[in-house]
Structure 1
Amino acid sequence: MDIETLNKLEKKALKKSGMDFTRLGVALFFAVAVLTFSFVSNGGIPNNMFLAIAALIGAYMAMNIGANDVANNVGPAVGSRAMTMTMAIIIAAIFEASGALIAGGDVVKTIKKGIIDISAFGGDADPFIWAMMAALLAAALWLNLATALRAPVSTTHSIVGGVMGAGIAAAGFSIVSWSTMGKIAASWVISPVLGGIIAAGFLFAIKKTIIFKSDQISAAKKYVPIYVAIMSWAFVTYLTLKGLKKIWPKVVETLNALPLISLPATDKPSFTTALIFGAIAAVIVYFIVSRRIKKKNLQNSKDAVNTLFTIPLIFSAALLSFAHGANDVANAVGPLAAISDAVVSGGVSSKAPIPLWVMAVGALGIAIGLMLYGPKLIKTVGAEITELNQVRAFSIAMAAAITVIIASQLGLPVSSTHIAIGGVFGVGFLREYLHITSKDKHIVAEDRELLEDEKATLNAYNAELDKLENKEEKSTGDYERIVDLYKLIAKEEEHLKSTKRHMKRIEKVQYVKRDTVKKIIAAWVITVPAAAIVAAVLFYAIKGIMI
């Protein structure tokens, strides 16, 4: 290696270490700022140091959510080159923070999904505070490790595991609702399978109606407005059900102030209301898209069709980020709000108000974590599982919204992370299936026939060789035939290997990287138990320090 190459490598290493140091510095500055603000602003409250430390852990958790979970919303769009990495980070950061601050709600459940019975704490605030701190820190540590390993995992499952482990350490196994944990375990299968099937289904439909047609542009002008309208229906329905449910009374009040609108006063949107909103949006979008596409002068190519899905992908990334911020900010601030309520009131409650500063910690933490460490996971989701283009990314985004809608109405437990990654798996495996064309299938059939003939010939040669070698008295002709048979067997074995290799090349084209899939699935399976074990250890450590 020459001196010039060594100098380039050294400069690259120094630049990378400098960037890593800057990222760490910004993250530490945010964490220390949160710690200081919490300590100063709550100075008159007993045990305010607990609250300040909890705020620090909450900030750490929020940054890890931003670094890991947000990649699922923008990764496919970036991988398909519908957006640049910078554009994706800016859009996601803005909409994640907006979703958290605007639609995150005023009250949060202190125990996510009711996985433990808080009555087991007997109203004693101290062990409850220790358990929530242990759960929050355990979930954050696990997310940090998963991000470092480039494994997209469920933040909800991380905090669920943390709460379960800390709860068991505090009050025994009876505190856990095992039926709820069973449903969560079921989501490890339900979420990716549903997401994969729906994403593959949409991709196959787009290929059949547009890509496989001889005149792709005419087909695109007919069908793209329909697909984008379906996407609009799905996303507006999804946003209404998930993104606005915590502020629905305020939304109803605002809409009822408009003429000709009268919505019933309810705590959260009904499925029918969400569907109506989605249908209205779908009709409007259909006419807008149809008019715009008719004016375009496009070449009859797959690339031209792909460009038609770019703008819908940008909108989908923004809406998914908004809904994610509104929902998953609770994973960061839920335990923090519970600790804040327990410190202030001195008791334990199933629901707790979210102070504005607590919600701001969650919103800003998610945005900062995304900007500092999000690109790693965005690259994994967008490019390291399978190659994506706009049509494939569009199918994944559709799966993300529709799967949540279906699952929520059927009462099935699902994870948005697992749905999105399952969608990526689905389109990748569909590509593998479609790779074997009718021509390829004919070749494979011919190869199989040839393989059987070669095996039969090889068996005949081996049988003749055994007969001659076992012959007691051999003539000169027998020895010559034995030599010929060895040569024929070697030649036939080589033909056999060649035919098998040819079949494997056609049948085993892999568009999905198996090593990445195995790593991600392994991370999913161990998320809950890993977070639970760490949380239990942390609870005993905190308890030992405090007693």
Structure 2
Amino acid sequence: MDLILGIALALAGFYMAWNIGANDLANAMGTSVGSKALTIKQVIIIASFFELTGALLFGGEVTDTIAKGIVPLDSIIAVSPDIVAVGMLGAILAAGFWITLATVYNLPVSTTHSIVGSVLGFGIVCAIYGIIAFSDIHWGVMVGIVASWLLSPLLGGVIAYIIFYVVRKKFLVKTEDVPGIEKKFIFLQVVTACFVAFSHGSNDVANAIGPLYAVYNMYGPYSFNLMNALLLLGGLGIVVGLATWGYKVIDTVGNKITELTPTRGFSAQFATAAVVLAHSFVGLPISTTHILVGAVIGVGLAGGLSGINLKVLKSIGLSWIVTVPVSALTSGIIFYILALFFL
């Protein structure tokens, strides 16, 4: 692999991880800030440890899916390994550009959607040029991933609603000291914030380093554990992204969708973390953003539809719809341009 291309891939991977921290992890932790259980500084400290731990312990399975499960890389490698290297570079850049744009407008979008759409765009361009057949793309895997995207917000919302319903019935309704109960739940929300950061690291770090692993693995073997090295790179990038730019999306999720209290924040976070970690165990890339927003809506609906800011939800929903096609199209264009220089 060309040295310049190898360095460009590493930098692009870190840039993508930085975007994930600024947008995806920021929205996952936004409920803790919105309910005032934690400050932004405290969230950064918690995320630094648990995000890296989740990535290193459980990030490998989802990374493998992103790296190999969507496009038949072996068939492309048989033609030229450099095609994969350039294509994955284009995919990472396309996903990163889209997430950066979304963060500018304070919109929590799915980094999983972004990278999966971008890798798919690379595969479609390869099919257009006859490098692979359209039928070679793993459409069955795509269907499974897309189905999980549709079900996960609903699942997160239902679980969060149930948890908050139980909490409200068992604790809030039976006391006159609601502020006191809310104060006691701050500790539980801190615990679930750790759980969210851990589960996020186990799943979403793959969005940054999955394409890198696919490329570097072609040119191995290495004297070090490639997977762990890339997981560490991705985890560090995510933490830096949260620390430097995460405040924008934290404000949207924590303050603009619905009013959050420690009991509501706890319910939303626990539901989100549980669903994400379950998907990580089976190696299925899932959108933490979709689950968390679904969970926040779930606890908001427990107080009636009037408790939800539908205008904000409309903007978020529109950004979700266009993420995959925009990422795929941008990836195809960038791949075509990069191919003129590297292939």
Please report the TM-score for the alignment, with normalisation by the length of structure 1.
0.57
CA deviation digits over 1:259-314, x for unaligned, max 9? xxxxxxxxxxxxxxxxxxxxxxxxxxxxxxxxxxxxxxxxx411101011111111
Counterpart position of 1:397: 269
In structure 2, distance between residues paired with 1:409 and 1:99? 11
Counterpart position of 1:415: 287
In structure 1, distance between residues paired with 2:285 and 2:238? 24
Q: Residues 62 and 280 of structure 2 are in contact (CA less than 8 Å); yes or no, is this contact kept in structure 1? A: no
Structure-2 change in CA distance of 1:71 and 1:308 (3 Å): same
Structure-2 change in CA distance of 1:140 and 1:408 (3 Å): closer
The one-letter amino acid paired with 1:89 is I
Structure-2 change in CA distance of 1:545 and 1:191 (3 Å): same
Structure-2 change in CA distance of 1:89 and 1:409 (3 Å): closer
Candidates 151, 154, 162, aligned match of 2:110 = 154
Q: Residues 59 and 202 of structure 2 are in contact (CA less than 8 Å); yes or no, is this contact kept in structure 1? A: yes
Structure-2 change in CA distance of 1:357 and 1:387 (3 Å): same
Is the counterpart of residue 429 in structure 1 residue 301 in structure 2?
yes
User: SS of the residue aligned with 1:77?
Assistant: helix
Counterpart position of 1:209: 170
User: SS of the residue aligned with 2:259?
Assistant: coil
Q: Residues 142 and 158 of structure 1 are in contact (CA less than 8 Å); yes or no, is this contact kept in structure 2? A: yes
Counting only pairs closer than 5 Å after superposition, residues 108-147 of structure 1 correspond to structure 2 as 108-109=63-64, 111-112=66-67, 114-123=69-78, 124-147=80-103
Counterpart position of 1:60: 15
Q: Residues 110 and 337 of structure 1 are in contact (CA less than 8 Å); yes or no, is this contact kept in structure 2? A: no
Could you tell me how far 1:377 is from its partner in structure 2?
A: 0.9
Counting only pairs closer than 5 Å after superposition, residues 338-417 of structure 1 correspond to structure 2 as 338-344=214-220, 354=226, 357-404=229-276, 414-417=286-289
In structure 2, distance between residues paired with 1:391 and 1:113? 40
Could you tell me how far 1:153 is from its partner in structure 2?
A: 1.7
Is the counterpart of residue 546 in structure 1 residue 334 in structure 2?
no
The one-letter amino acid paired with 1:192 is P
Please report the TM-score for the alignment, with normalisation by the length of structure 2.
0.89
The one-letter amino acid paired with 2:156 is G
Q: Residues 110 and 338 of structure 1 are in contact (CA less than 8 Å); yes or no, is this contact kept in structure 2? A: no
Which one is further off, 79-88 or 178-187? Answer: 178-187
Structure-2 change in CA distance of 1:185 and 1:66 (3 Å): same
Q: Residues 121 and 171 of structure 1 are in contact (CA less than 8 Å); yes or no, is this contact kept in structure 2? A: no
In structure 2, distance between residues paired with 1:311 and 1:153? 28
Candidates 141, 146, 155, aligned match of 1:185 = 146
In structure 1, distance between residues paired with 2:340 and 2:155? 45
- RMSD value, Cα: 2.6
Candidates 171, 187, 190, aligned match of 1:311 = 187
Counterpart position of 1:524: 320
Q: Unpaired runs of 5+ in structure 2? A: 129-133
Aligned length: 335
- Larger RCO: Structure 1 or Structure 2 (Cα < 8 Å, ≥ 6 residues apart)? 2
User: SS of the residue aligned with 1:386?
Assistant: coil
Is the counterpart of residue 167 in structure 1 residue 43 in structure 2?
no
Q: Unpaired runs of 5+ in structure 1? A: 1-45, 217-299, 346-351, 434-509
CA deviation digits over 1:353-404, x for unaligned, max 9? 6265433321221111110011111111111111100111111022113434
Structure-2 change in CA distance of 1:415 and 1:545 (3 Å): same
